Amino acid sequence: MDEMEEELKCPVCGSFYREPIILPCSHNICLACARNILVQTPEAESPQSSRASGSGVSDYDYLDLDKMSLYSEADSGYGSYGGFVSAPTTPCQKSPNGVRVFPPAVPQSGPQQHLLPHPASLPPIPRNSCITCPQCHRSLILDDRGLRGFPKNRVLEGVVDRYQQSKAAALKCQLCEKSPKEATVMCEQCDVFYCDPCRLRCHPPRGPLAKHRLVPPAQGRISRRASPRKISTCTEHELENLSMYCVQCKMPVCYQCLEEGKHGTHEVKALGAMWKLHKGQLSQALNGLSDRATEAKEFLVQLRHMVQHIQENGVEFEACLVAQCDALIDALNRRKAQLLAQVNKEHEHKLKVVRDQISHCTVKLRQTTGLMEYCLEVIKENDPSGFLQISDALIRRVHMNESQWGKGTLTPRMTSDFDLTLDSGPLLQTIHQLDFVQMKVPAAPILQLEECCTQNNSATLSWKQPPLSTIAVEGYILELDDGNGGPFREVYVGTETICTVDGLHFNSTYKSRVKAFNSSGVGQYSKTLIMQTSEIAWFTFDPASAHPDIVFSNDNLTVSCNSYDDRVVLGTAAFSRGVHYWEMTVDRYDNHPDPAFGICRGDVLKDVMLGKDDKAWAMYVDNNRSWFMHNNSHTNRTDGGVAKGSTIGMLLDFTRGILIFLINDEQQGPVAFESLEGAYYPAISLNRNVQVTLHTGLPIPDFYTPGEADPTSSVC
């Protein structure tokens, strides 16, 4: 019941309603609060004041917002009972919904209290007083009765009283002898409050007491304190009880209102009957609202579960992100170690080269220095003959030693700089571009059953992504089986969410499913949808595939030709399974032409007689005889021709793979063609001397017994 508490509080004072009255806008307000927010309007600016006197509740005049702009906070304010004020001196308060309230003046010596003075002690309401609803902000001018013209909401007052009583101190057991314990239940039949020990001792759930209804103490208190129904009196005739209900004004009225007032000509009904009717309507409305509330509770549970899942997924995703970043850091550290090893290798190589050069140069320098010291000592000798004996050799040694210090010998073999530069630019750019990308495959699409249908031998399917799915979808793949329980095959790949598949088998059951894909992969399949194609094939001649000389009429069921040469026209349906029968009647037959009837492939020649190429199987016929023809081969000449009004039938049986022709319900010759497999279109070739009409949806002729039954056989 705590949720109901806001419904029981006044929008002005924010406290529980005290003597609530009903405004014409159906909102409620405390009587004292209504006095507090009254505003007096100037006599000159109240064009409807002359109408206010003596009018009923339905005569209250609503002001337009433009008129109410006269009463701004700067020039009027809200007075309690006084006249029109230009600047309120009473301290301004605000209710919970923001309405400015100026409480009634009280003596300065005493504290302010929310008292309800007796109506007789209140000062009279000034003429042309205006009140604005604090909830919907609709304004109206009061009539001579003032606030007494508003009906009291005794129902709301009773609910507030019971609610406040239910929130009072805990109830005590009525059977405890000493120190009564807190009551836990109340028996509605016994009208007694029990604690648990006393209930078990004095009110056991057996025998006649087993049928008693035990309720919580708070509910029992409300039911006990529910006041008897009060007799309401009329607001205009205070001595009369309300006994009828005015249907037009939607308000209770008394007999005097019917005899003297404006309700005399209105439709009225018994108050009790309307009371029960409106209670039933309110109960019915509450049922719908209860369903919405139940759905809202379930939705809240779903949202709370989502919060939990979001938290769990957030922790999991964060851990995954940390692991991925740590893996990148580990890879960078490994690469760092490899690069450092490369630098150390280069460092050691440079040191070795320089040290080898130092060692080599040191040895040579020692040899050169020794040779120089020796030559200097030789030069000091004064023996010419002895000097000349060795001077040539020494000169050669000096020159040879000098040549060993030639160009490049005193040049370092290695620089001290490291000719290595770490190219980190692309990696830094990649790190800066590191971001989240779509890594999940799409969710399974949802087939929209209300938009999926079959027509003839075509199937239309529609689907959509789940409402809460945010994963990008690049396209869809639609799959159907072969209509005979075979494997699925792709029939559509693209971005559309609706697809019509033509050329299916008649009287066949197809299974269909769809899945979505993106750059990360292919998602799960949708639920499988089973669709049944038409049991009977209805088709017409096809203008799209016909030769331009063909003329169509009768909704494409009748064809003729503008040319003296033979021209071919196909049907709109293709057959590849089952048993099919259709007929054509000759509407016009002049000068003994040779029309050809039969079946063909979709790429048959359209400017020659049907059967001239290897794409058609036909019977051409004149007024005396007929021939079967395929690939320009004429066979089985049979007597019996056609004339105006003749009927040519074609029976195509895929269970046996044969084609039979009939003329006027009689088989024409033997079986025309055998070993037929694949997809075939009904067809005819004719010239300007012939006009025929197509008939489909026909039963198989009585003389014919189909071969071994095929689970997908159909008759058309």
pLDDT in tens, 137-153: 888 888 777 887 788 88
Over residues 299-339, the pLDDT tens digits come to: 999 899 989 999 999 999 899 999 999 999 999 999 999 99
For residues 294 and 406, the model is more confident at 294
**C-alpha 57, offset from chain centre:** 48
189 pLDDT tier (thresholds 50, 70, 90): confident
Mean pLDDT estimate for the chain: 82
Choice between 666 and 64, residue whose per-residue pLDDT is larger: 666
Q: What is the pLDDT of residue 358?
A: 92
Full DSSP string of 301-317: HHHHHHHHHHHHHHHHH
Q: Output DSSP code: residue 191.
A: T
Q: What confidence score (pLDDT) does residue 94 get?
A: 43
Q: What is the largest CA-CA distance in the chain?
A: 176
pLDDT for the residue 587: 95
Whole-angstrom Cα distance, residue 622 to residue 619?
Answer: 10
pLDDT band at 438 (very low <50, low <70, confident <90, very high): low
- Give percent of the chain above pLDDT 70: 83
pLDDT at 221: 59
pLDDT of 14 over the 90 cut: no
Number of H helices, E strands in the chain: 10, 36
Determine the Cα–Cα distance for residues 23 and 132; give it in Å rounded to an integer: 10
**β-bridge partners, 147:** none
The Cα–Cα gap between 45 and 75 comes to 14
CA distances from 133 to 235, 468, 702 (A): 20, 42, 85
Dihedral (CA of 302, 306, 312, 317) sign: positive
pLDDT(230) > 50: yes
pLDDT at 46 over 50: no
Q: pLDDT tens, 649-668?
A: 999 999 899 999 999 999 99
Nearest to 511 by CA among 526, 497, 531: 531
Contacts 24+ apart (CB under 8 A), 261-267: 261/56, 261/236, 262/56
The whole-angstrom distance between residue 579's C-alpha and the CA centroid of its chain comes to 45
64 pLDDT higher than 60: no
CA 280/CA 82 separation, integer angstroms:
45
45 pLDDT tier (thresholds 50, 70, 90): very low
Q: What is the pLDDT of residue 170?
A: 63
pLDDT band at 51 (very low <50, low <70, confident <90, very high): very low
Q: How far is CA 548 from the centre of its chain?
A: 48
* 567's tokens: 């021209």
CA distances for 17 relative to 87, 146, 157, angstroms = 29, 20, 7
Q: What are the backbone dihedrals phi and psi of residue 629, each rounded to the nearest 5 degrees, phi first?
A: -145, 135
How far is it, in rounded angstroms, from Cα 624 to Cα 642? 7
- Residue type at 305? H
**In this structure, what token pair is assigned to residue 340?**
């450092």
* Pairing outcome for strands 214-215 and 453-455: unpaired
Q: What percent of the chain has pLDDT over 90?
A: 41
**Residue 703 confidence (pLDDT) above 80:** yes
Integer CA distances (angstroms), 456 to 83, 364, 459, in order: 83, 106, 8
Q: How high is the pLDDT of residue 410?
A: 85
- pLDDT of amino acid 42: 58
Q: Retrieve residue 576's tokens.
A: 């590849």
Q: Can you tell me the distance from the alpha carbon of 691 to that of 588, in angstroms, rounded to the nearest whole number?
A: 5
Distance CA(567)–CA(88), nearest Å, equals: 100
Higher-pLDDT residue of 99 and 530 is 530
- The CA distances from residue 484 to 509, 514, 530, 535, 678, in Å, are 7, 19, 12, 15, 15
pLDDT of residue 195: 93
Alpha carbons 673 and 656: distance in angstroms, whole number:
11
**Phi, psi angle pair for 516, to nearest 5°:** -110, 160
**What is the DSSP pairing of strand 509-518 with strand 475-480?**
antiparallel
How confident is the model at residue 37, as a pLDDT?
85
Dihedral class, residue 19 (left if φ above 0, else alpha if ψ from -120 to 50, else beta) = left
CA 597, CA 569: separation in Å to the nearest integer?
10
Write the single-letter amino acid at 63: L
**What is the pLDDT, as a whole number, of residue 414?**
85
| pLDDT tens per residue, range 606-628 | 999 999 999 999 999 999 999 99
- What's the pLDDT at 6? 84
Mean pLDDT on 432-442: 82
pLDDT the model gives residue 99: 43
pLDDT category at 61 given cuts 50, 70, 90 is: very low
Instruction: Confirm if 13 and 95 have CB atoms less than 8 A apart.
Output: yes
pLDDT band at 124 (very low <50, low <70, confident <90, very high): low
pLDDT exceeds 80 at position 135:
yes
Least confident of 51-65, 151-165, 296-310: 51-65
pLDDT of 95 > 90? The answer is: no
pLDDT confidence bin for 129, thresholds 50/70/90? confident
Nearest to 40 by CA among 130, 140, 101, 141: 130
